[in-house]
A and B are shown apart, each in its own frame.
Chain A
Amino acid sequence: MEDQQTPPVTNQLENFFNISFDEATRTQIKQAAVWAKVITLCAFVGYAVVLVVAIFGQSAYSPDTEGLGGYVHTGNMVGVILSVGLGVFINYFLYRFAVATAKGMDNMDSIKTNEGFNSLRRYFKILGILIIICLSFVVLGILVAIFAGLGRS
């Protein structure tokens, strides 16, 4: 008798996992998307402020200015633009995650949702690669310092 029972329909769909974005999950993801958008908007405004200060505000500071202004003054203009560009590039993926995922969840559109999570994957991946590069420089710096110390002694 049990053999005659038909298996659940979802198991017949080989292209799908047996898990779905139910109401609770969709709510969590939508809220995550809202806050991700807040983060990106704050970041974009922050970068705009840094650029404005770097371009127009340099003459307003004395060389011994502390805090952000001091950083901008002593820093290279090219460095500031590169940092802002990199920041915008990274946060753009988070913004795309926020927009596409929210749209996907609202319209029950798995293509949009996948697109959103793909942007989140890229965001984390770029951050991870940048961290690896930074850590490599730190290790290189430590090795150079050790060899410089050995050379002196």
Chain B
Amino acid sequence: MENNQDDSLLQMHLDYDGGHILTETVRWSRFLAIVGIVGLSICLLAFALAGTAVLAALSKLAPGLDTLAGLGSAIVIAALLVIFAVFVYVVYMLYRFSVLTRKAIDQQDQTILAEGMKCLKLYFVISGIFAILGLLGNLLTITKLFNS
């Protein structure tokens, strides 16, 4: 029991400044997650109602989609759905981070805090993979442009 208390003293506790900062971080992240969920829902609705027009508009921004369209609409739709699902997962992780961290602070629960931080990690991991892919895509586009 004494050992546990010593361990507890050696650990880095969340102070009230930190708690206040985390609470406000959680508030803004929840707002972003909710806006993300609404935005993704609108995107899905737009794609369901006017998929061809949306694809044509997207192909102007990302020329690679033209070549994808040649593969068949089913593959394009499947690929877009996979990308959409990943985006939903990212937004859901941000939402879970906000909910779980808030809950952990309110209930002073160590396990829930760890869960919340795991969600924050997953959010950053997937966003990081997207960032790397986006950077590679940009570099590829620029290389093509300079070569053409």
Interface core residue of B13, B32, B60, B105 (most chain A CB under 10 Å): B13
Docked-complex contact A22 and B131, CB < 8 angstroms? no
Residues of chain B with a CB closer than 8 A to A50's CB: 138
Docked-complex contact A128 and B15, CB < 8 angstroms? no
- Taking CB atoms and an 8 Å cut-off, the chain A residues in 25-52 that contact chain B are 25-26, 28-29, 31-32, 35-36, 38-39, 42-43, 45-46, 49-50
**Binary flags per residue of B106-123, CB closer than 8 Å to A gives 1, else 0:** 001110011001101101
Docked-complex contact B32 and A36, CB < 8 angstroms? no
Tell me, yes or no, whether A148 is within 8 Å of chain B by CB: no
Residue from B61, B108, B120 within 8 A of A18 (CB atoms):
B108
Docked-complex contact A28 and B125, CB < 8 angstroms? no
A10-B9, A20-B13, A67-B145 known; A117 and B121 CB under 8 Å? no
**Binary flags per residue of B20-51, CB closer than 8 Å to A gives 1, else 0:** 01101100110110010000000000000000
Docked-complex contact A15 and B124, CB < 8 angstroms? no
Inter-chain CA distance A19–B18, complex, in Å, is 11
Residue from B14, B22, B141 within 8 A of A20 (CB atoms):
B14
A46-B138, A113-B12, A131-B35 known; A24 and B114 CB under 8 Å? yes
Docked-complex contact A110 and B145, CB < 8 angstroms? no
Docked-complex contact A28 and B117, CB < 8 angstroms? yes
Tell me, yes or no, whether B11 is within 8 Å of chain A by CB: yes
A32-B124, A46-B135 known; A20 and B142 CB under 8 Å? no
Residue from A25, A36, A69, A121 within 8 A of B142 (CB atoms):
A69
Docked-complex contact B13 and A110, CB < 8 angstroms? yes
Tell me, yes or no, whether A151 is within 8 Å of chain B by CB: no
Residue from A9, A22, A120 within 8 A of B110 (CB atoms):
A22
